Every structure is written in C-alpha cells, then in structure tokens.
Structure 1
C-alpha cells in the first residue's frame, strides 16, 4: 500500500499540452499502482491538449470546471464529475473554453515495457 499526500505530488510536463499544470498523484514509485498512474491536471482558461492520440486508452474525470472535447466531428462539454474513456488511437482535442480553472483526474496505463 502506498499513501501519498497531495503536498508530496510531483509536477510533470505532458506533451502537446498548454496552459496546464500536471501533478502525478500515484504511479512510477515503489508500492504504487502496478497497471496505471493517476495525474491531476489543472487547465487555465484557454488551456488544453491535442489534437493527438495515444496507443493506449485513458480516462478523464472532470472534478471542477468545464472541458470541451472534440473528436471525429463531435464536440462535448464535460462538467464536474463527468468522465470520458478515450480509446487507443482516438484523435481528440481538449480545451478549457471558460474563465475558470478546470481540474481533472487522468488515469493512464504505464507505457509498454520493451
């Protein structure tokens, strides 16, 4: 079992993100999860990511604020406690189009070991 306090979370830079501050809550440490890691992303107004895709699925959970998600000609706004599974290879773009910070949990599997 691994207990981590929020004040011990470490910042990380996510590729192709802007106006975003990411903290790793769990993952990549002894005693932590073995299948996935959990990030906490704070998107400033106008912040976002993409368009891009990953070879693995991920899950977004909006905790506070709003996040607009675009994929395959669709647009959807996620609000507090809405969640989204992004399948492997799905091109998506996300953007905080409000004047408030959007706070999200992101659950991502570890990269495959070569």
Structure 2
C-alpha cells in the first residue's frame, strides 16, 4: 500500500488551465500507481480549462461546487459527486460559472513517455 497525505501533495500546473490550483494526490512517484495518476483541481470562480483535448481519456469527479463541461457546443453542469469520462481526443472546455470554488478529482493515465 502506498499512502500519501494530503499535506504532502505537491502542486502542478496543468496546461491551458486558468484560475486553477492543482495538487497531485497520487502518481509520478516510487511506490505509487503504475497506470494512472490522481489530481485534485480547485477552480476559482470564473476559472476553467480548454478548449483542448488529450490523446488519452480522463475522468472528472466533482467533490464540491459545480463545473460546466462543454463538448461540441453542448453544455452539461456537473454537481457534487457527479462524474464524467472524457474520451481520448475529444475537445472539451471546463468553466466554473459560480461564485464558489469548485473542487474536482481528475484521474488520468500516464502518457507513454512518463510511465514510472
């Protein structure tokens, strides 16, 4: 078992994100997961990401607040404990349209060049 305390999580900067503070909860470390990493994203009001896509799928789980996910012009609001899977190469945009910080878990496989 590999335990990592929240107080030990290190920040990371996610490309094409704004008004967002990311912490790496698991991954990219000895003894951690071997096929994916887990991020904790905190989006300030009016913060977001994209539009962009990745060559691998992602899973988002909203823990607090709400996030609007926009794909092909279709807007879906995810609320507390809602989740979604974004397939590889699907262009998405994320927006926190509320006046509250939105907190979200992100599960992403390692890029081939970064596998531990």
Answer whether TM exceeds 0.5 for this pair. yes
Equivalence map 1:20-59=2 (5 Å):
20-59=20-59
Equivalence map 1:57-76=2 (5 Å):
57-76=57-76
* 1:98 aligned counterpart, secondary structure: coil
Q: TM-score, normalised by structure 2?
A: 0.96
Q: TM-score, normalised by structure 1?
A: 0.98
Cα RMSD (Å) of the superposition?
0.9
What runs of 5+ residues in structure 1 fail to find an aligned partner?
none
* 2:7 aligned counterpart, secondary structure: helix
Task: Report how many residues are paired.
Answer: 114
- Quick one: distance in 1 between partners of 2:66 and 2:29? 31
* 1:113 aligned counterpart, secondary structure: helix
Residue in 1 that maps onto 2:4 = 4
- Quick one: distance in 2 between partners of 1:112 and 1:52? 19
What runs of 5+ residues in structure 2 fail to find an aligned partner?
none
> Per-residue CA shift, 1:56-93, capped at 9, x if unaligned?
00000000000001001210000000001000000000
